[in-house]
Chain A
């Protein structure tokens, strides 16, 4: 029965209370371990389409009569448009439409960051559109941008109200400590750089607006666009069958969608608006920089007595305050915790979610400080983490729905033990060391999410749901789940997704929520088909439903005898069996989180400051694993991205003008083939007994969370230097080494 409940909904650590109607989950979880299909490695069901270059991305759309848009963006971090003449653009060859600030909401004549959109044109070709943008006659009054964090804090320039949290008494906790670490950590701005840039093509079909877009959230785009154009929601149809990466930055419609839709309306033709790489790197979101002031105290046995943390999150002009204090609040069973998070507003491009927003930054500071504390106390860092293990949610005493962190620690032990052997391999200027860091993140997903499953007369199964596969392999995971439930081979299942007009509502692919939200819905839809199949079989073979069950693609009777599924579906000819499924509620009164630990091995050249990551061991607890092969790829991908933000990636701004200097893939250093270490990935793979009919959590984000801290802790192990900022480029490394030498000269003991 449908039940109306008020529930907490979490996406990327943002909690809201809302009403949802949920179907009670009536299915028992499958037993633990690899089953027929679920839990076994599966190659991607859409792998061939992608590898053969047949997959059609938004960038590959060629709609008849399609025009191309280009956007006039502010070259200044803060300015006022004093004169704007669109006429010269309109007069140019191939131009079909021009819009300015008075025509559309996101266009402005008072830009507050570089790249904010001012005007846009649509033309027959991209080159014509670009030329027309150049021809727009615009004069700017350049205003003084606010770029300095200190100054912004003094002026109380915030995007949202600061967030405070407190339990116990940190001052008392610090007074009780035998050792205290007080330090400042900094993280940089990181650019997503999905290889497919942000883009949409919009086309009006009568009163319906069709939006083809590279997105992580079809339904979010639908709602935003419907609101902006004052349309009933279902008069906006959003389509994305293949998308070329998002990593958090493609969760909303973006100015390019609104521009394409408005220009399509005015010209009566489809319009494609695509950011180029340089626009992408200025204007499509970023991981916000942070300045973290931490004080950690512990007793001589390593028990944490206090965590005091202040986070300045430099969000840029807009955005939201990511849960940067989450790890400090939830990772350890510390009684005295105080955190402050401030979302500082500056005249820089707005942040957007980037794979585990907040937790990547917060884990870096916390886990580095904890290692510094362990060094001061001369304790084993792994032991310190065990000692402070939280058996229940330290924020509100709620039990965890499941937590296998101790098992992760146990499995990491032999990899941590390698440190003696790794250190011994140091030679000459190249010093080697090992470090570790714990991971904590959300990833439980939630309702509402729906799926349909249809079984055709020929025995093939199609899963239909309007979700998206952003490259994480969710199509494959959904197919595996349906195949498992119906006891049929994976090859018999097709997954249709990516179109709000073709299938029910599905969650955002963000916050590691796709599999834990959609998987249970798909399973319950498949089970609905299974139930009907048995009802029909019982009638056909004149037996009772309760003696029949589905097994290995057959209907098996307890009384002996079995029939192929086709013996039933074959009766239907063109008839179909249609199943409905919905995501059930999350367990009440429980905290659903993912956990893990990574162990990094590094080599540091003490003369050049070069840091090479040689090996990463990762073990994560995300409940039941649907596809171990795809999961391994997710872990590798997360770690490689993390190596990027740990060692080489950094958005640089001109300190005077606030302009982004790293606009190209030449100046912004993504990890390449040559930067990849040996990666050993493991998953605990134990279903969360309290979470849904699957017991699965999301894996998109956990692997990127602890890597930076593990690497930096390995650097300390190798060199004795405390690195407190990322990226650790050579300059940063050499500075930290010089400081360590200074400290040694002054007689203070170096880290152990």
Chain B
């Protein structure tokens, strides 16, 4: 399942989830920046849990639900990222939003330390971290009903 739709992919054993999403399904919102599990750009959710799709083999996904940035386009974080100016070059941004969405789903009102902990696997070379925190806090404040 990808973003609520059922897909069957026929690819060589050893194909990563990231490649399957990008090359077979054309979901290029998921970025690859290192391809070896070090940067978080390729983050997607598997049953709501953030994973690095560049080091996840597609055949291990099975029936689980994959959520990519394409499945989160209506998430309030997207607008919050824009409003907080949390995207510069934007290459890390989809991965950041996927991670942040998983954080907010598990912890609707995260504190600073929880944000840092959850987001530390997502590198941003442009240095948007302060703005990302602001975006997450803005959505968290809505969760608070404030």
Residues of A bordering B, CB below 8 Å: 43-44, 46-57, 59-60, 62, 192-197, 242-245, 247, 276-277, 470-473, 629-630, 632-633, 636-641, 664-666, 670-674, 676, 679
Q: Measured between C-beta atoms, what is the minimum distance from A285 to chain B in Å? A: 14
User: Is the CB–CB distance between A60 and B28 below 8 Å?
Assistant: yes
User: Is the CB–CB distance between B85 and A51 below 8 Å?
Assistant: no
Chain B: which residue is nearest A633 at the CB level? B85
The interface residues of chain B, by DSSP majority, are classed as loop
Considering only residues 39-72 of chain B, those with a C-beta below 8 Å from chain A are 39, 41, 68-70
CA distance A472 to B73 in the complex (A): 23
User: Is the CB–CB distance between B29 and A277 below 8 Å?
Assistant: no
User: Is the CB–CB distance between B68 and A277 below 8 Å?
Assistant: no
The interface residues of chain A, by DSSP majority, are classed as loop
Knowing A54-B29, A640-B129, the reply to whether A630 touches B85 (Cβ < 8 A) is yes
A670 contacts across to B, CB distance below 8 A: 123, 125
User: Is the CB–CB distance between B125 and A195 below 8 Å?
Assistant: yes
Residues of chain B at interface, number, CB under 8 A: 52
Chain A: which residue is nearest B83 at the CB level? A43
A51 contacts across to B, CB distance below 8 A: 78, 81-82, 86-87, 90, 93-94, 97
User: B127 an interface residue at 8 Å Cβ cutoff?
Assistant: yes
Q: Measured between C-beta atoms, what is the minimum distance from B119 to chain A in Å? A: 4
Knowing A245-B89, A245-B91, A665-B38, the reply to whether A59 touches B82 (Cβ < 8 A) is no
Knowing A44-B85, A630-B85, A671-B127, the reply to whether A665 touches B90 (Cβ < 8 A) is no
CA distance A455 to B125 in the complex (A): 37
Chain B: which residue is nearest A664 at the CB level? B38
Q: Measured between C-beta atoms, what is the minimum distance from B26 to chain A in Å? A: 7
Residues of B bordering A, CB below 8 Å: 22-23, 26-36, 38-39, 41, 68-70, 73, 78-79, 81-83, 85-94, 97, 115-116, 119-120, 122-133
CA distance A629 to B135 in the complex (A): 14
User: Is the CB–CB distance between A43 and B30 below 8 Å?
Assistant: no
Q: Per a CB cutoff under 8 Å, which of A53, A55, A56, A196 touches B70?
A: A53
User: Is the CB–CB distance between A629 and B82 below 8 Å?
Assistant: no
CA distance A705 to B106 in the complex (A): 40
Chain A: which residue is nearest B91 at the CB level? A244
Q: Measured between C-beta atoms, what is the minimum distance from B99 to chain A in Å? A: 10
User: Is the CB–CB distance between B87 and A47 below 8 Å?
Assistant: yes
User: Is the CB–CB distance between B85 and A56 below 8 Å?
Assistant: no
User: Is the CB–CB distance between B35 and A43 below 8 Å?
Assistant: no
User: Is the CB–CB distance between A244 and B90 below 8 Å?
Assistant: yes
User: Is the CB–CB distance between B125 and A193 below 8 Å?
Assistant: yes
Knowing A53-B73, A195-B89, A245-B91, the reply to whether A471 touches B33 (Cβ < 8 A) is no
Q: Measured between C-beta atoms, what is the minimum distance from A40 to chain B in Å? A: 13
Knowing A50-B93, A53-B69, the reply to whether A196 touches B30 (Cβ < 8 A) is no
User: Is the CB–CB distance between B33 and A195 below 8 Å?
Assistant: yes
Q: Per a CB cutoff under 8 Å, which of A194, A197, A629 touches B89?
A: A194
A639 contacts across to B, CB distance below 8 A: 127
Q: Measured between C-beta atoms, what is the minimum distance from A540 to chain B in Å? A: 39
Extra contacts, 7 of them, besides A52-B73, A471-B91, A670-B123 (Cβ < 8 A), are A43-B85, A195-B31, A633-B128, A636-B129, A641-B127, A665-B123, A676-B130
Q: Per a CB cutoff under 8 Å, which of A247, A277, A629, A672 touches B36?
A: A277
B41 contacts across to A, CB distance below 8 A: 195
Knowing A195-B39, A665-B34, the reply to whether A472 touches B88 (Cβ < 8 A) is yes
Knowing A43-B83, A195-B39, the reply to whether A56 touches B28 (Cβ < 8 A) is yes
Knowing A53-B28, A53-B68, the reply to whether A636 touches B87 (Cβ < 8 A) is no
User: Is the CB–CB distance between A673 and B30 below 8 Å?
Assistant: no
B133 contacts across to A, CB distance below 8 A: 673
Q: Measured between C-beta atoms, what is the minimum distance from A672 to chain B in Å? A: 5
User: Is the CB–CB distance between B31 and A637 below 8 Å?
Assistant: no
User: Is the CB–CB distance between A244 and B89 below 8 Å?
Assistant: yes
CA distance A672 to B34 in the complex (A): 15
| Closest 9 pairs between A and B when the two form their complex, measured CB to CB | A53-B29, A471-B89, A50-B90, A244-B91, A640-B127, A637-B127, A53-B69, A47-B82, A665-B38
CA distance A57 to B32 in the complex (A): 11
CA distance A470 to B120 in the complex (A): 24
Chain B: which residue is nearest A679 at the CB level? B130
CA distance A471 to B90 in the complex (A): 7
User: Is the CB–CB distance between B34 and A664 below 8 Å?
Assistant: yes
User: Is the CB–CB distance between B125 and A247 below 8 Å?
Assistant: yes
CA distance A632 to B69 in the complex (A): 26
Q: Measured between C-beta atoms, what is the minimum distance from A19 to chain B in Å? A: 34
B87 contacts across to A, CB distance below 8 A: 44, 47, 50-51
Knowing A48-B82, A471-B126, A672-B120, the reply to whether A196 touches B35 (Cβ < 8 A) is no
CA distance A674 to B68 in the complex (A): 25
A197 contacts across to B, CB distance below 8 A: 33
Q: Measured between C-beta atoms, what is the minimum distance from A134 to chain B in Å? A: 16
B93 contacts across to A, CB distance below 8 A: 50-51, 53
Q: Per a CB cutoff under 8 Å, which of B32, B79, B88 touches A637?
A: B88
Q: Per a CB cutoff under 8 Å, which of B88, B116, B130 touches A674?
A: B116
User: Is the CB–CB distance between B28 and A473 below 8 Å?
Assistant: no
B122 contacts across to A, CB distance below 8 A: 673
User: Is the CB–CB distance between B26 and A277 below 8 Å?
Assistant: no
Q: Measured between C-beta atoms, what is the minimum distance from A565 to chain B in Å? A: 27
Q: Per a CB cutoff under 8 Å, which of B31, B35, B81, B83 touches A277?
A: B35
Chain A: which residue is nearest B89 at the CB level? A471
Interface-central residue, A47, A51, A672, by most chain B CB under 10 Å: A51
CA distance A745 to B88 in the complex (A): 50
5 contacts between A and B (CB under 8 A): A43-B83, A53-B30, A633-B85, A638-B127, A676-B127
CA distance A60 to B82 in the complex (A): 21
Q: Measured between C-beta atoms, what is the minimum distance from A724 to chain B in Å? A: 26
B30 contacts across to A, CB distance below 8 A: 53
Q: Measured between C-beta atoms, what is the minimum distance from B70 to chain A in Å? A: 6
Chain A: which residue is nearest B73 at the CB level? A52
CA distance A62 to B28 in the complex (A): 10
User: Is the CB–CB distance between B91 and A673 below 8 Å?
Assistant: no
Knowing A43-B83, A195-B41, A196-B33, the reply to whether A633 touches B88 (Cβ < 8 A) is yes
User: Is the CB–CB distance between B82 and A673 below 8 Å?
Assistant: no
Q: Measured between C-beta atoms, what is the minimum distance from A696 to chain B in Å? A: 19
CA distance A679 to B132 in the complex (A): 14
A630 contacts across to B, CB distance below 8 A: 85
CA distance A632 to B28 in the complex (A): 29
CA distance A44 to B93 in the complex (A): 14
